[in-house]
Structure 1
Amino acid sequence: MRVAIAGAGAVGRSVARELIGNGHRVLLIDKDPAALKPERVPDAEWLLADSCELSSLEEARLEACDVVIAATGDDKVNLVTSLLAKTEFAVPRTVARVNHPNNEWLFSEAWGVDVNVSTPRIMSALVEEAVTIGDIVRLFTFRQGNANLVEMTLPEDSPYVGKPVGLIPWPENTSLVTILRDGQVYTPAGEQPIESGDELLFVSSPEGESELQDLLSPSTGE
């Protein structure tokens, strides 16, 4: 997979290293000469260019990218980069960094953003996930599919403690992705029971979240 990252600062370089480590080809783009430090990520391609300029993105051959990540510290730049990537180069997937929470509403399909990443929101969700039992916690939103990645730690009084996964009437448009138990990751299987304290990860429609809540932990909604 070829990935272009606009913004070669600490965030962009960290993402690049991770992607390269997973076998992907990465191009780092930045208009600031001081940000170009090829020795920091030697296996990446580097380009001194403004990702808000159409000519720069043509030079970067964005049409050959599978993903574009707008990871600069400027929300305006991230929005324009995502919009150009999507509308001018038909990049299949765009991911944009949200620096200021008040701007999060702008990072939508209208601006060519498939996935927005807001650090404050992620940190808040992780705190909730760590301390909350019996409540649905939204971890991530998938823009294109109208679906969310949500988590619940199963409480002791759930009516489905000890029940096999295949016999639980999951809400429509909801899928149990994995079960985290005692530091282990389990793939859900029909005969496998869920237990008190299990961390359950789901992909669910927004409507399915409240149904999941009522199904697995009805006492929290009282």
Structure 2
Amino acid sequence: MRILVAGAGHLGAQIARALAAARNDVVLVDRDGDRAAEFAGRPAVGVVEGDACEPAVLERAGAFTADVLIAATDRDEDNLVIGLLAKRRFAVPRVVARVNDTDNTWLFDARWGVDAAIPATTPLISLVEEATGAADTVALLRLSRAGVDVIETAITAHSRAAGRALADIELPPGTVVATVVRDGRPTVPAPQMPLRPGDELLVVSHSATEEEIRAAFR
């Protein structure tokens, strides 16, 4: 499934990682160059820097071939414009939009191209299921009901974790490596599994930050 996520804030970044982990083709759009740079170079998530309220930016991100668009910025007016463009100009089959201010909920309907309006307080897993309509593809992400974040990191030739067994890596408390993607195939890792350059790790944690988890493998 090809999915565009507009807005690389905390929610947008989480949903992009979660959907990419579920083997979807995900492109993240944000006008903040620093936010976009955080995802640049990650094979699992494409990045387009620019304002998703501009049709040319959405077109560059692949809106004409998108199955789903998620407007996840922290501005309701932007999410409405993005939703309307997605539906009316690009005919995106499913448009999901974040509602930041509950007083604006009444606006988020078919008149603005929105198929599903999601309050900002909605758990991540519910948003994923609403966006994809296929909960079985994201079973791992049900952990998010307990406040667990899903974080992706990669092993490079310069990582201190390269060549070391997973059991020898000191992870932050409350953190588990759920999957190692090697040569394009996800694997449930054994403790003695040696990590190799090119491995992509899907890590779940209820307390550690993304930076803390990446630091453990650098």
Shorter-normalised TM range: 0.5 to 0.7
What secondary structure is seen at the aligned counterpart in 2 of 1:104? helix
Q: Which residue of 2 aligns with 1:10?
A: 10
Query: 41-50 or 60-69, which moves further after superposition?
Result: 41-50
Q: CA deviation at 1:54?
A: 1.2
Unaligned runs of 5+ in 1: 124-139, 143-222
Q: How does 1:156-171 map to 2 (within 5 A)?
A: none
Please name the residue that 2:179 is paired with: none
The answer for the alignment partner of 1:67 in structure 2 is 68
Structure number with greater Rg is 1
Q: Give the Cα–Cα distance (whole angstroms) in 2 for the partners of residues 119 and 36 of structure 1.
A: 21
Equivalent residues in 2 for 1:25-104, closer than 5 Å: 25-39=25-39, 42=42, 43-104=44-105
Structure 2: gaps of 5 or more residues: 124-128, 132-218
1:119 positional shift: 3.1
The change in CA–CA distance for 1:41 and 1:77 in structure 2 (over 3 A counts) is farther
Q: What CA deviation, in whole Å up to 9, does each residue of 1:146-184 have, x standing for no partner?
A: xxxxxxxxxxxxxxxxxxxxxxxxxxxxxxxxxxxxxxx
Pair 1:83–1:38, CA change in 2 (3 A):
same
User: Take 1:59 and 1:119, find their aligned partners in 2: how far apart are those partners?
Assistant: 27
Identity between Structure 1 and Structure 2 (%): 42
| Structure 1 counterpart SS, 2:117 | strand
Task: Give me the whole-angstrom Cα distance separating, in 2, the residues matched to 1:111 and 1:27.
Answer: 22
Q: 1: CA distance between counterparts of 2:120 and 2:39?
A: 27
TM-score between the two structures when normalised by the length of structure 1: 0.53
Distance 1:28 1:2, change over 3 A: same
Structure ranking higher on relative contact order (CA contacts 8 Å, 6+ apart): 2
Counterparts of 2:18 and 2:40, CA distance in 1: 13
Separation (CA, whole Å) in 1 of partners of 2:94 and 2:38: 25
**2:97–2:116 contact (8 Å) kept in structure 1:** yes
Aligned AA (1:50)? D
**SS class of match (2:56):** helix
Deviates more, 1:81-90 or 1:31-40: 31-40
Decide whether the 8 Å contact of 2:100 with 2:119 is kept in 1. yes
Distance 1:80 1:110 in 2: 11
CA distance in 2, matches of 1:31, 1:39: 13
The ranges of structure 1 where at least 4 consecutive aligned residues each deviate by more than 4 angstroms after the TM superposition are none
RMSD: 2.4
- Residue by residue over 1:66-96, the C-alpha shift from the partner in whole angstroms, topping out at 9 and shown as x without a partner, is 0000000000000000000000000000000
Deviation at 1:41, TM superposition (A): 8.2
Using the size of structure 2 for normalisation, the TM-score is 0.54
- Following superposition, the deviation at residue 40 of structure 1 comes to 8.0
Task: Tell me by how many angstroms 1:24 deviates.
Answer: 0.2
